[in-house]
Amino acid sequence: MARSSRLPVDRFLLAIVVAAAVALLLPASGVGAEAVTVGTKVLIFVLFFLYGARLHPREALAGLKNWRLHLTILAFTYVVFPLVGLGLHLFSPWLISAAVLPGLVYLTLCPSTVQSSINFTSIARGNVAGAIVSASASNLLGVVLTPLWAIALMNATGGARVGFGAIGDLALQILLPFVLGQLSRRWTAGFVAAHPRLKLVDQASIVLVVYAAFAEGARERIWSQVSAIDLVVITVVCLAILAFMLWLTWMSATRLGFDRADAIAIQMCGTKKSLATGLPMAMVLFGGGSVGLIVLPLMVFHQAQLMACSALASRYARGEAGEGTR
């Protein structure tokens, strides 16, 4: 247990950072850029097909018995977080520049993670079954809710705009493969479950998406719009959002009468934002040179949530172990 509760920066996160750095220094151009674009679309299709093959819809239906828990977690992910994103406009442009605001808003619209939400809930000795259902439901709903929120909220408030033509791209690159994955589970679910190395396809897809996004930003010179102060603001705002949501989820769960195990699941699932799902969605929804800047806050938030929740999960586990020895 002590080993599993430690979550240092892993090779996957290092690969993401390296991909971004390489894209800034050596952005693909000409035929190379076209090849990256085609490769990105193909891998995004494969990525969401695998998501569909992995997620069992019956898990979400079976878990509706604990509807208060799941509704609370989904409310944090798709209501409270977007309201926080909407509230960020109060700090623009005097604190948050117009260049970085869309990325911070998009961060609040993404679905929760699956694997890390479940892992941290398990480490903290929370309601693992509830975390599995809620995290899976969040991703199932996120395929539809995140794009709808992006179209409604980001278009209405200015900044980065999501064209309605993106709906067609979204249907072809995300919804279609996801549905095909769901429909093919009878033949593919066992194969996918038996081959954990397929996770490398997920990771390769995300690394290529990061490279493509940052390379496109470099070609369009979008990074000249971002100052060192903007980068500091992105980091501070991400940390502030994370701290606020960690406090709010725990406080709300306690006030609503949930027990400790459920409160842990609510906090661990209700404060996460998925890099694995959010990055490909951003690539489809936004495109253009600004996509690299839009996904930057999500990358910062992702690493911050891993470190913070790792520390919290370990503390909760030690606290329960201490109580058990009294």
Q: In this structure, is residue 1 part of a structural domain?
A: no
Q: In this structure, is residue 151 part of a structural domain?
A: yes
Amino acid at position 73, single letter: I
pTM value is 0.75
Q: What is the pLDDT of residues 279-304, one digit of tens each?
A: 888 877 776 557 778 888 988 898 88
Q: What is the pLDDT of residues 252-273, one digit of tens each?
A: 999 999 999 999 999 999 999 9
DSSP 91: G
Q: In this structure, is residue 325 part of a structural domain?
A: no
Q: In this structure, is residue 324 part of a structural domain?
A: no
Question: What is the CB-side half-sphere exposure of residue 155 using CA atoms within 13 A?
Answer: 12
Q: In this structure, is residue 116 part of a structural domain?
A: yes
Q: In this structure, is residue 5 part of a structural domain?
A: no
- Which letter, b or e, does each residue of 125-146 get, where b requires 16 or more Cβ atoms within 10 Å of its Cβ? bbbbbbbbbbbbbbbbbbbebb
Please state, in angstroms and rounded to a whole number, the distance separating the CA atoms of residues 26 and 43: 21
| Count of structural domains, the chain | 1
Query: Which range marks the domain in which residue 226 is found?
Result: 11-319
Q: The domain that contains 42 carries what CATH number?
A: 1.20.1530.20
Using only C-alpha atoms, the chain has a radius of gyration, in whole angstroms, of 19
How far from chain centre, in Å, is Cα 149?
14
Please state, in angstroms and rounded to a whole number, the distance separating the CA atoms of residues 200 and 216: 24
Please state, in angstroms and rounded to a whole number, the distance separating the CA atoms of residues 51 and 265: 22
Q: What is the pLDDT of residues 80-135, one digit of tens each?
A: 999 999 999 888 888 898 888 889 999 999 999 877 788 788 888 888 878 877 88
How far from chain centre, in Å, is Cα 30?
31
Q: In this structure, is residue 6 part of a structural domain?
A: no
Q: In this structure, is residue 3 part of a structural domain?
A: no
DSSP 220: T
Q: What is the pLDDT of residues 164-183, one digit of tens each?
A: 555 666 667 767 887 888 88
